[in-house]
Structure formats: structure tokens, C-alpha cells
Amino acid sequence: MTDDEGDFPPGEGPTSGISVTLTAGTLHAIRERVGKRGVSAYLEKAAQRQIERENLDELIADFDKVHGPAGPEAVAAKRARLTGGASDAGAAA
């Protein structure tokens, strides 16, 4: 078994080198942000965020299958509760 075959959650376990192909523009933009030596760490964090988003999308899809999708009013109310703002359900219509 190689290091990348272990049962580690994203962001944990030993590091493993791979080859990644990026467009020149994407690589340039990354290097502009983090320099040449920060590319691997930047891509690691980006991959972790993408995995988190996909996991969240799966949870939402499962919830929607059971309960149906949330209506605009419910979303606005939850957003207001999370952000401390007033519910803006009328603007969602």
C-alpha cells in the first residue's frame, strides 16, 4: 500500500508528489498570489475546499430528496439568522 492509499481525511496523512497540468493563465495567477514555492500548498487548500463543497452538495441533495427543496422564504430567514440581518423574504420573489 502506498502513502496515498491510506484512510486519511482531506488535509491529513503523509504528503505525496504528483504531476498536475494547469493552463498557463491559472498557474500564473496562482504564482502571483503565493509565489513559486507556495503553489503546492495553495493547490492542497483549493482541493480541500472543493472536497468540502462536493460533500456539502451531496448532503444538500440527500436532504432535498427527503424533505424537498427549501423555499425562498425559508432560505432568506436562515440567511438572516446566520448573518444577523433582517429577513429579506420579499426581495427573493
Residues in the chain: 93
Give me the tens of pLDDT residue by residue for the chain, a chain 93 residues long: 455 567 999 999 999 999 999 999 999 999 999 999 999 999 999 999 999 999 999 999 999 999 999 899 999 999 999 999 865 555 544
User: Can you read off the three cell numbers belonging to residue 12?
Assistant: 491529513
Q: How far is CA 70 from the centre of its chain?
A: 21
The pTM score is 0.70
| Host H or E run for residue 19 | none
Cβ contact 80:86 at 8 Å:
yes
